[in-house]
Chains A and B, each alone.
Chain A
Amino acid sequence: MLGAVLVVLALLVATVVGIQAARRPILFRMAVRTALRRPRQTATVVAGLMIGTAIISAALVAGQSSSSAIRGAVYDALGPVDETVRMDGLYFFDQELQDGLLDDPAVAAYFDAAAPNILWQVATDNPRTDLFEPGVQLVGFDPDLDVGFGDFETERGPLDGRDLGAGQAIATQGLADKLDLRVGDTVRLAYTLPVDPLLPELTVFGGTLAGSDPGSIGLPLPPAEQNPATDVHALTVEPGATRAVFVLACGIPEQVDCPAGTRLRLTATDPAGVATSIELDAGACTDCGTPSVFLNVTPDGPRLPEGAWTLTVQGAVAANVPYLLVAAPLHPVYDLEAFQARVQELAELDRDALDRFASGFGAPEEETVRIAAVTTGGRGDQFDFDEALFVPLADAQAMLERPDQVNLIKFSNPGGVQDGAEGTDDAVALLNATLESLRAARPGDPAAPHVLVNPVKQEFLELADDAGELMTGLLIFAGSLSILTGLLLIINIFTMLAEERRAELGMARAVGLSRRDLVGLFLFEGSLYAVAAALVGALLGMALAFLMVVGVNQVIATQGSGFPPIPFAPGPDALPVAFSAGALLTFATIFFASRRQSRLNIVRAIRQIEEPDKQGRPWLLWVGAPLALVGALLSVGAWIAGQFSLIVFAPLLMALGLRMALATRLRRRVLDPALAGLLAVYYVATIFLIGTFDNVREANVVGPIRGVLLTLAVVVVLSHWEAGPRWMGRVLQRARGLRAVALPSVAYPQHKRFRTGMTLAMFSLVILSIGFFSIFGSLFQVDPARHTGGFDVEATATLRVESLDAYDRGLVDDSLVRSQHELLDHSTFDLDFITVDGERTGQFGPPMHHVYGIDRAFLESQEFRLLWTLDDLGDQETYERLFTEPGTIIVSYPYSTNEQGQDLAHEVGETLRMHFGDETREYTIIGIQEQFHFRGVWLPSEEVDGLFPQADRLYLWDLQPGADAGAVAKDLERTHRDVGLDAEPSQELVAEEQETFNQILTAMKLFLGLGLVVGVLSLGIVTSRAVLERRQEIGMLRAMGFTRRQVRRVFFLEVTFIVVLGALIGIATSIIVTYGLWFAFIRELQYPYAVPWSEIGWLLAVAYAVALVATAAPILRAARVAPAEALRYVE
């Protein structure tokens, strides 16, 4: 979109310039001739101009390549699958729905292939090798329908899976490696049965167990019909229930004790007359309190018979005792809103008794399969599961006790893996329409409305493009200083060109060209350069992106992370967009530079007399004075209001106003450095006050801009400082080798103030940007312990079990464990599920959200520090608040960033929302954690349990000091292998994440290094111009007795002078800026401030070395100047 605008704009400008050229062909021809007259110089100019374009182009192409890499991964992962139909949470639904969908003639006609699947997590174990793998994807597939999705590739050739027998499975190569599998091995699977999000439909009956004949106590209950204490209740079971739970509690609701020896029997009879009953003999218990009977009724088919049920309560008690009978047919509720409402209802009652049924924990099941083949690719890669087992659908259904149910249907659009995605819109419309009619035909099926179409491939491809754009944006942001540097270079070059041609231009003015013509002349020439430079720059940027891709691939390859190499994939729009952006930037800069140059005095120009200090025109006073006043008022206001942007910009406005207003009274060479100096001092002062401002988000953007302004101000001051360089020269003179060369080499840069200032600015800005990243990066070298909250091992289990301890083989040395914690952990890949202040948050890793549920015991052990707390409470108080104040939430660090990963984008006190379809829940952020290892939001367990009754568990262990976390993690996996525990040493994980962060940082710094190239290139250009300009003077020096070496030294020292000064300014400002930021934000994190001197030393050494290389050619040329020739040379 932006790209199109740029291209159109560029075309527009080209048209305007073209029309102008046609109107003044002579000017145009003059411009062309000037450009062609000195091809070498033109080449240098173009080289200087192209840098900005190259950066834009490189960023664009690098972004496109990374998006294409992700696209490639998407194609690899999904293969021919374009859409899936499933429920959130992969709940099971009836196969009838699937059949209805697949048998629909329109659907059948449209899709290349469609097939149901069952996906379920299992833990595996190879008894032959005694190896185990906790997290394995079990894939049930329909042998006939799945054929449409290609063959399993195996080492023995392709397999279509149709002849896979019952009890047989195909393993992926990844799993085979983990378990050391051979064909023929028997693999043991452990898993829990799938559950539906069940909620009871409660009916409560009350009554009194009549005291019966005391003589009958202690005897078997008399037949119901003879027992006077028999109550019969009628219950209507609504359609859709999958099972029912009945609880009969004695002594409730009056809370009286049931007499010892009470006997109870509960019988449930369905409409068909089938009865289920259970008895309780409380005879043995003397202090029973409330004896209860639980009756669990499961149907033969998928649903409980609906209609009129009868519940019969029989009791034999010694006295009249009240009882309560709760009937709870369990209905799957896939609708969160409804779920919430019911949870509220339940909360009114004593929930404990029902919890066990609703929470969905089951005992682990076991099964074995025989490995029939190992697949290396093809259909085996379809879901991108490294470790998976493929079994016939019927087997999976039997194992999971879900006859006639599946949890996924996949579809392949017409066309191949890549072009298939183009049909997504049609496919989605078709599937939705068909689903709609199926839902209408199945009113009683609670699942049907929630079985939805997911355009998976399209969604992932969009994510890929977003990621690519993000990358481009990031690189352009990182390169923005380099681009700015490039623009300064353009101005510098054009000023030099104009200086060189002053006489020529003066003549042109003298013979009657107007000022506008001069601008035109420059613009024509400039647009020629801009076009050439943009073209070369765009291509160079591509080459650069190519090198980056190659570099990244090298890193990927050496890391062996298994990522496929990133393809070099410039999009078709890369060249035109980069070209247009570059040409426009260059053109605009040239436009301003040439306006400046056209204001020359004819006589002075011809006679080569320097333009005097410009005297301000009187009217400037009338513009400047009000500006200065407004600036001053705004500054004062800004300080009163603590408005950060204005605190930075208003004084700048004031200074600019003063500069205009005082231009008539004071000379610029006094005025400029004075104002710049005051600004610089002011900025340094504000840096240490930044912490007192609330709006950190603003500071985040304005802070770096202030760094740039500070740098520029310092450069203005230094480039006006007359005495400094002289003094330097006198000092350097004391060195024997520099005796003759010291004076000229400092005098020249001082003399060419504008040029030197520009070069200094470029150099120092580049050093500033690299130094900034370098120092900042080193500040964020985190201590892993601070990101793991003091915990050492973290684990998840494939099997959802109520208590880990029940599945402990006793292989861990308990003396090593200080404490163990179980957290609820609901995760989702839906990035829009959580928003802060209405926007998506940063991710710092895989794109997903976690909602962690913690209990008070956890609070005792955890050491997750909070960076910011609401109302400035202490950490412990804030965590405590989580439990006492509903609607509060604590978040990990990434939730304080925005989607672009910008720090400090969000603060405590802002609102965090969770989006459940139509409903949202709001929380106030009361604390932001320092850690970004457990990237999620933190709530009390009860709250998470209420929201996500089927949340997974996250287990954390705190070990004794000195324990080897890696070894304990291994032992934990072994001891809990029955539940498929997957344990990792936390600090090692953090260290790996840090490593990734460092690599990104390095990549950033390398990209910033491009700016260094600009700075250095500009030095090369400036030097080469200086050599040209000073030929005659060089000849004079040579005549006077300067040796070639001394001539070289003059230039060499000059370059050194600029590099060292620029580097000093850049380093100093980057230290000031980073120290300021540290002072304001990081100090509280208790990270020490340190400057990575050795890294900066290297940086400077490299910068200097490259500068020498870049200036070597002109310097050598200077030394070779033949004196006799040069003295004769009149330019």
Chain B
Amino acid sequence: MDEAIVQARRVTKVYETGRLRLEALKGIDLDVRRGEMVAVVGPSGCGKTTLLNCLSGLDDVTSGAVTLEGKDLATLADLERTKLRSRRMGFVFQSFNLLPVLTALENVELPLLVAGVDPRVAKRRSQEALERVGLGGHVGHKPRELSGGQQQRVTIARSLVNEPAIVWADEPTGNLDTETGQEILDLLHELNRKQGQTYVIVTHDDAIAASCHRIVHMESGRIRDIQEGQGQPVELAAFRR
């Protein structure tokens, strides 16, 4: 059995707004293995995004435990979790979440700068990352000046530039037409193969889900079942350092 990079045990999440109490996650057990691409699917409102937030430590769980590379997230302070995100994680969201005021290059630079990389190095590596996603010629453009697909590529470049161990993607193709969506997914697969990063992808798109290694089906806060997808997990040993 491959080692699990993320482990969730009996995770629950309850939203309490005023008198309303909503159990968004009702006891989730899930292991994500290194180098794996996991798709999370399910009807709208079933708790996919919540699960992603809880697993990545963006949000607190109500009960249960999440361990990330062996560290129990509940025991980490906000600052440590932030550092963990900065070094080990990347994020891709449905609405592309670029800073509109920065150029593509500057957006990609940010995670590196946060991690304390020298600005000159950061600039070079960002340039490379953008080239890798096929946007080498658009470094000076602001998000407004790019198409949706291009913007999502920038996001992806940004999520990868600091070579994270795991990338969380919440409906990365949700705002794109099918064709562009497929392009983006191909890009992710390619990167997964080349760099061995772990992907957790929330999606509505069955085709996309099917192309992943495993598919987690969710239904009103629970995991209904987990399927094997068509994709083949990468050979992790190749990436061991």
Contact = CB atoms under 8 A, between A and B. Distances in A.
B102 A743 contact: yes
B101 A739 contact: no
A361 interface: no
A942 B119 CA distance: 85
A1043 interface: yes
Contact of B49 (A739, A1042, A1128): A1128
Interface string B63-106: 00000000000000011001101110101010101011110001
Nearest to B13: A1124
Nearest to B106: A743
Interface string A915-950: 000000000000000000000000000000000000
A734 B119 contact: yes
B67 to A, nearest CB: 19
B110 A740 contact: yes
A225 to B, nearest CB: 123
A747 B99 contact: yes
Majority-rule SS of A interface residues: helix
A740 B111 CA distance: 8
B20 to A, nearest CB: 16
A747 B100 CA distance: 9
Interface in A716-754: 730, 733-734, 736, 739-740, 743-744, 747-748, 750-751
Contacts of A750: 101
A1043 B93 CA distance: 20
Contacts of A1033: 97, 99-100
B204 to A, nearest CB: 17
B73 to A, nearest CB: 13
A1036 B116 contact: no
B113 A740 contact: yes
Nearest to A1122: B59
Contacts of B111: 1040-1041
B236 interface: no
A1123 interface: yes
A1129 to B, nearest CB: 11
Contacts of A1038: 58, 82
A1127 B85 contact: no
B36 interface: no
Given A1038-B82, A1040-B85, A1041-B86, A733 B113 contact: yes
Contacts of A1128: 49
A1127 B99 contact: no
A1125 B106 CA distance: 25
A435 B87 CA distance: 102
A1122 B58 CA distance: 8
Given A1039-B85, A1040-B111, A1044-B78, A748 B116 contact: no
Contacts of B106: 743, 747
A1036 B59 contact: no
Contacts of B101: 744, 747-748, 750-751
Nearest to B86: A1041
A1036 B99 contact: yes
A1032 B49 contact: no
Contacts of A1127: 53, 58, 93, 97
B79 A1043 contact: yes
Of listed A1038, A1040, A1041, residue having the most chain B CB within 10 A: A1041
A1043 B59 contact: no
A733 B59 contact: no
A724 to B, nearest CB: 15
Contact of A1040 (B49, B59, B86): B86
B22 interface: no
Nearest to A609: B144
A1041 B49 contact: no
B59 A739 contact: no
Contacts of A1023: none
A863 B95 CA distance: 80
Given A744-B99, A1036-B93, A1046-B114, A1041 B87 contact: yes
B64 to A, nearest CB: 16
A871 interface: no
B102 A1124 contact: no
A1046 B111 CA distance: 12
A1023 to B, nearest CB: 15
Interface in B121-164: 144, 158
A1123 B54 CA distance: 11
A719 to B, nearest CB: 14
Interface string A1028-1050: 00001100111111111010000
A748 B142 CA distance: 13
B110 A1123 contact: no
Interface string A592-630: 000000000000000000100000000000000000000
A1040 B53 contact: no
Sorted from nearest, which 10 A-B pairs have the closest CB atoms? A1041-B86, A1124-B59, A747-B101, A751-B101, A740-B113, A1124-B53, A1036-B97, A740-B114, A1124-B58, A1041-B114
25 contacts: A733-B119, A734-B119, A740-B110, A740-B114, A743-B102, A743-B110, A747-B102, A751-B100, A1033-B97, A1036-B97, A1039-B56, A1039-B58, A1039-B91, A1040-B110, A1040-B111, A1040-B114, A1041-B87, A1041-B111, A1042-B82, A1043-B79, A1046-B114, A1123-B59, A1124-B59, A1127-B58, A1128-B49
Interface of A: 610, 730, 733-734, 736, 739-740, 743-744, 747-748, 750-751, 1032-1033, 1036-1044, 1046, 1122-1125, 1127-1128, 1130
Given A747-B106, A1033-B100, A1127-B93, 17 more contacts: A610-B144, A730-B119, A739-B119, A740-B114, A747-B102, A1036-B97, A1040-B86, A1040-B91, A1040-B111, A1040-B158, A1041-B83, A1042-B114, A1043-B79, A1043-B83, A1123-B59, A1124-B53, A1125-B59
